[in-house]
A = this chain, B = another copy of it.
Amino acid sequence: MISCPKCSEVGSIMKAGYVRNKQRYVCKDCNYFFTLSNPDQITPRKNSRRHQTTIIDIARSTGVSNSTVSRALHGHADISPETRNAVLEMAALLDYQPNQLAYNLVKSRTNTIGMIVPEFTNSFFPNIIIGAHELLTEAGYNLTIMQSNESYPIEVSNTKAMLANRIDGLLISLTQETNNYDHLKVFEKRGIPLVLFNRVCDYVSAPKVVVNDFEGSFLAVEHLILNGYERIAHLGGPLNLLVSRERLRGYRAAMEKYGKSIEENMVIQGMFSQQKARIYGKYLLDLENRPDAIFAVNDSSAIEIMLMALEKGIRIPDELGVVGFSDNPESAYIGPGLTTIRQPTNAIGKTSAQWVLQLIESEEEMILPNEKVLKTELVVRGSSRRKDF
């Protein structure tokens, strides 16, 4: 008695013509075609619970070898159109889906780029993801995204997972907690392409994609000064991040250039969070001699400040100028509109992705500029435009 190699059924086997001079059978139960080239192939493969059809199934059913099937499937040359068609037909018939896992294992590449971002509650990182995603998809790569949630331990475990999954390259933007970079150096040591973006650091020799935070901040503060604000506070980010330091530097440079003295109690550096923004914002607005303008490290903080000013009845922009950074979607609409520095988020994603692909495709260690700096843009809205200026 012949049993179906796929579903083990014995009662429903029928003859189904000849292939390459061998009797072909079909199992009416599971619609599986096969030949019996060799008696011990009659026994079904074990562990067949939810068996997905493999190359071997196709090989058996068509009466050719695995390698021939593989070649046919990949449109290799040196294969007779006749057998190729037979294989392709059978593949369709058996509803064959290649097993990427096995492919990846033997090729030891996955065609997948990993991306780790600290958060995606703001639209900032999602927009970067969109950019990277577009470019990678076009290039035939998959993108696996992980989120570190601004936590260093999670970031470390994320990189471990990426490593374990043998991604071909990694795009990463660091958490605000990250001060140790050993988990990134592993990538260097392994020769796995790595690109840092936005939240970068100096201590790892990987390419970095950033924006001109210094200039952006300089322009922002200069704009406030040119609108007649004198005592400008800065609500900054955590200083272990280069972005925070650069934006602080831009602030100081602008103040200095225009001969404004900086009151150090009005320069605050802190973690990114809505709660922190409220605390620092309250502090600044409650100062006995409160600033007449605030340059915030990002739009979320700036918006918190605007809302608090509203509550307190402080008029914007007359009594208080506010400028943010990043141009969140809500910034255009809040109150008189929030003046801000627009970041080319899509381009950040695209640039980073392109770079990591270049690193992958270039066999040699490339000698490359280690940093790409994209341009920001000052977007002037109502929160900083005084009528009398």
Q: A residues near B, CB below 8 A?
A: 50, 52, 95, 97-102, 104-105, 110, 120-121, 123, 126-127, 129-130, 133, 137, 142-147, 160-161, 163-166, 186, 189-191, 303, 328-330, 332-335
Q: Please, could you name 22 A-B residue pairs with CB atoms under 8 Å apart, sorted by A? A: A50-B190, A52-B190, A97-B164, A97-B186, A98-B164, A99-B166, A100-B161, A101-B101, A101-B104, A101-B110, A101-B166, A102-B105, A123-B329, A137-B147, A142-B144, A142-B146, A143-B146, A145-B145, A303-B333, A330-B333, A333-B333, A333-B335
Beta-carbon nearest neighbor of A192 in chain B: B50
Residues of B within 8 A of A142 (CB): 144, 146, 161, 165
Which of A95, A104, A328 is most buried by chain B, counting CB atoms within 10 A of its CB? A104
Known contacts A100-B166, A145-B143; A95 and B133 CB within 8 A of each other: no
Contacts A97-B186, A126-B126 supplied; 13 other A-B pairs, CB < 8 Å: A97-B160, A99-B166, A100-B161, A100-B164, A100-B165, A101-B165, A101-B166, A121-B130, A137-B147, A143-B145, A145-B145, A303-B333, A330-B333
Please report the C-alpha to C-alpha distance between residue A380 and residue B201 in the assembled complex, in whole angstroms. Answer: 45
Closest 3 CB pairs of A and B: A333-B334, A100-B164, A330-B330
Please report the C-alpha to C-alpha distance between residue A328 and residue B105 in the assembled complex, in whole angstroms. Answer: 43
Residues of B within 8 A of A165 (CB): 100-101, 142
